[in-house]
Structure 1
Amino acid sequence: MLDTTGPADVAGVRRLARDGLLAGSAAAARPRALARLRGGVYTVAWPLVFTRITKPLEHRRRHADCARGLPWLRPDCLDGFHDDVEAVVEHALRRATDPIENLEGWLATRLTPATVDAHRRRRGEIGALQRPRLPAWLGDALGGDPWLCDLAVQVLVWVGVPATAGAELWPLDGWAARRTEITGEPVAGRELLDREVEQVLTAMRTRPAWHTAHVERPLGRKQAPVAPTPADFPALELVGAHELADARLAGLAEQALQAIETRLNRGEDPAAAVTAVIGTVFGEQSPDDVPSDDWLAAALADQERLAGIVETVLAVLGR
């Protein structure tokens, strides 16, 4: 649509909007004329959607690559972007009934209601809760634990999202980062999160009909995850081992920063927070051929080196 819509289509949409005829023209248009109207509105709307919705969302997801622009959006993020633009286009073609002098300005005020309504409608179509909230009975079943209650809401949100977590059922990597933000404790392995997810699901299953309607059914509407590579078939290595290691360390660093910031917000001493978090997160990471315990213990025990690490961490966090 971005490539086939011409200036005349956009000019026509602006003229109809100024005359208060855009919605009426769309309602009466034949398929070919309606496609031109949709294309014109799409051309005006997509930069607004990317700037006001997609880019801030990608920053919150810490997808720096996606936030650069459309060519860099990952496939699932690109799908979400197109869904949001389509929602704004449909909203405009239904609601633009009054004269609109500044179409961009009017669309900017409609971005949130249009995309939120469309998102809730898509969730409702597959049986997921449109506004996921924690039921009181579920909070009681989880003992009121802040993290488990938050995780329960994340489960309810996730079952209504069309995307998958690759070959995994749950987006545990993202939830690990969220757990760190809430508890201030870094996650050392996936086993803990697996147990906590199962604990939440067990609590949900105490209301079988509710669980079937709002968890099992929408979860079953997701597309099947990609099958794993057979064990006897050699995997194609697209990047070098050092690049994989760098990516792993970058992820650990992000998790550590979140945990340290949570501790600092609680008033914990910076040196104590940095020592505790780094010791946990990087306890199994070290330079080649250097025993991790010796290397890490030496770095944290050296007060001068520790002070430098603390200073660097505080600078990164803007403190």
Structure 2
Amino acid sequence: MSERPQGAGSSNQIRLRKLATDGRLTEYAMAAPADDRALLVSAAYEITWPIVFGRVTRRVELARGHLACYSSIRHLADECLDGFHDDVEAVVEDLLTHSTKPIINLEAWITSRLNAATVDAYRRRRGQRGALQRPRLPKWLAEAVGNDPWLTELATQILVWVGVDATAGAAIWPLDSWSQRRAAITGDQSGSDAATVAREIEFVLRAMRRKHEWFTQYVEEPQGRKQPPIGGGVYLADHDIGDQAMPTTARDDVDDGRLMELAATAVDVIAHRLAQGEDITTIAAEVVKKVFCLGTGAGDIDRAPLEGRTDDEQISTFMTDPAVIQRIIDAVHSIAALQGSTTT
């Protein structure tokens, strides 16, 4: 009897699960015609993506400090979404390649192989980029930075960063997340800012350049294969302030993007606290004020004096108006209702 599908969607998932239960999924997938294999891949994707997002993506995004990306697939930034798809594709390929024995609980089997599948694929992608597959700090480089705990960690992070697809928006390096890491390692909260980390990156890069061929092969060339920073900015190396972008994107577009990300974060925080049983009339104003009005000012560092945004001041004023608060409450209820309808 032919095992080619009579329908699509869930019927292909049922067929895939039956093949896995019988221990014949890999055998069938390897021999299947291209169009039939594509249907199996699609069914496998539908089964695996929730597992990958819940077990891999959210952990990664939380470690990066990407709260919006952590909250929902809908909020994944472009580079984070690319990484998510890479991981799902790796897990799907692993499923179709290694399902040679009967699998009773498919989700549990996939979960047990998540780390191996995604790490192996990650290393292959790094190798294709020309970066070190397993970044390790050479002894000579550790000595060149004085075996300093933070600087050796920063050097390792540079080796990791040049080999991944992720970008840092309009910057070359993820200064904000590395500033947080610096604070955690050194205990220097006030001194761990983007400008300090930028200067330290330049120091580490100078140390790396002592081995010219090594630097070219494992840092310069892999970094050159990364997607250009958003906005196609022109970068000027300044040893006093680090690499600074001269963005070509419109300022309003940048501001709108920041506000959209903050709004997504506010909605998710409110939804989470609602799920904990808190009263929306109590938390709406509090969350919006915290999310929008307690920034560090890093977003305005590239502006001329007196040209900074005044959104936080306007929002603080608006939040004293009961009508504004009620509109926020209504909007959250509408979003929650929409999300509920799309998951049923």
Q: 1:231-288 CA distances to partner (integer Å, 9 max, x unpaired)?
A: 9x76455359xx9996583458xxxxxxxxxxxxxxxxxxxxxxxxxxxxxxxxxx98
Matches within 5 A, 1:158-307: 158-186=161-189, 187=191, 189-225=193-229, 226-228=231-233, 229-230=247-248, 235-236=252-253, 237-238=255-256, 239=259, 249-250=294-295
User: CA 1:99 to 1:47, structure 2 compared with 1: closer, same or farther past 3 Å?
Assistant: same
Equivalent of 1:30 in 28, 33, 37:
33
1:106 match: 109
| Aligned partners of 2:12 and 2:39 also within 8 Å | yes
| Aligned partners of 2:29 and 2:96 also within 8 Å | yes
- Aligned residues: CA RMSD: 2.7
Letter in 1 for 2:224: G
Using the alignment, how far apart are the partners of 1:54 and 1:200 within structure 2?
Answer: 30
Q: 1:298-318 CA distances to partner (integer Å, 9 max, x unpaired)?
A: xxxxxxxxxxxxxxxxxxxxx
User: CA 1:182 to 1:189, structure 2 compared with 1: closer, same or farther past 3 Å?
Assistant: closer
1:12 match: 15
Matched positions, count: 249
User: CA 1:248 to 1:127, structure 2 compared with 1: closer, same or farther past 3 Å?
Assistant: farther
Unpaired runs of at least 5, structure 1: 253-286, 289-319
| Aligned partners of 1:5 and 1:39 also within 8 Å | no
Using the alignment, how far apart are the partners of 1:209 and 1:157 within structure 2?
Answer: 18
Letter in 2 for 1:190: A
Using the alignment, how far apart are the partners of 2:33 and 2:199 within structure 1?
Answer: 55
2:281 match: none
2:266 match: none
Return the offset for 1:41.
1.1
| Aligned partners of 1:23 and 1:94 also within 8 Å | yes
Q: SS state of the match for residue 65, structure 1? A: helix
TM-score, normalised on structure 1? 0.72
Equivalent of 1:156 in 147, 155, 159:
159
| Aligned partners of 1:26 and 1:37 also within 8 Å | yes
Equivalent of 1:45 in 44, 48, 52:
48
Return the offset for 1:81.
1.1
Unpaired runs of at least 5, structure 2: 1-6, 234-246, 261-287, 298-311, 314-344
Equivalent of 2:127 in 124, 129, 138:
124
Matches within 5 A, 1:73-152: 73-152=76-155
Return the offset for 1:206.
1.0
1:294 match: none
Letter in 1 for 2:171: E
Letter in 1 for 2:232: A
Letter in 1 for 2:214: W
Q: 1:175-227 CA distances to partner (integer Å, 9 max, x unpaired)?
A: 11111110011236433222211111111111111111100110010112222
| Aligned partners of 2:83 and 2:166 also within 8 Å | no
Identity percentage of aligned residues: 48
Using the alignment, how far apart are the partners of 1:100 and 1:133 within structure 2?
Answer: 37
Return the offset for 1:146.
0.7
Using the alignment, how far apart are the partners of 2:211 and 2:291 within structure 1?
Answer: 44
Q: 1:70-98 CA distances to partner (integer Å, 9 max, x unpaired)?
A: 22222222211111111000011111111
TM-score, normalised on structure 2? 0.67
Return the offset for 1:27.
0.8
Return the offset for 1:39.
1.0
| Aligned partners of 2:126 and 2:133 also within 8 Å | yes
| Aligned partners of 1:128 and 1:214 also within 8 Å | yes
| Aligned partners of 2:182 and 2:192 also within 8 Å | no
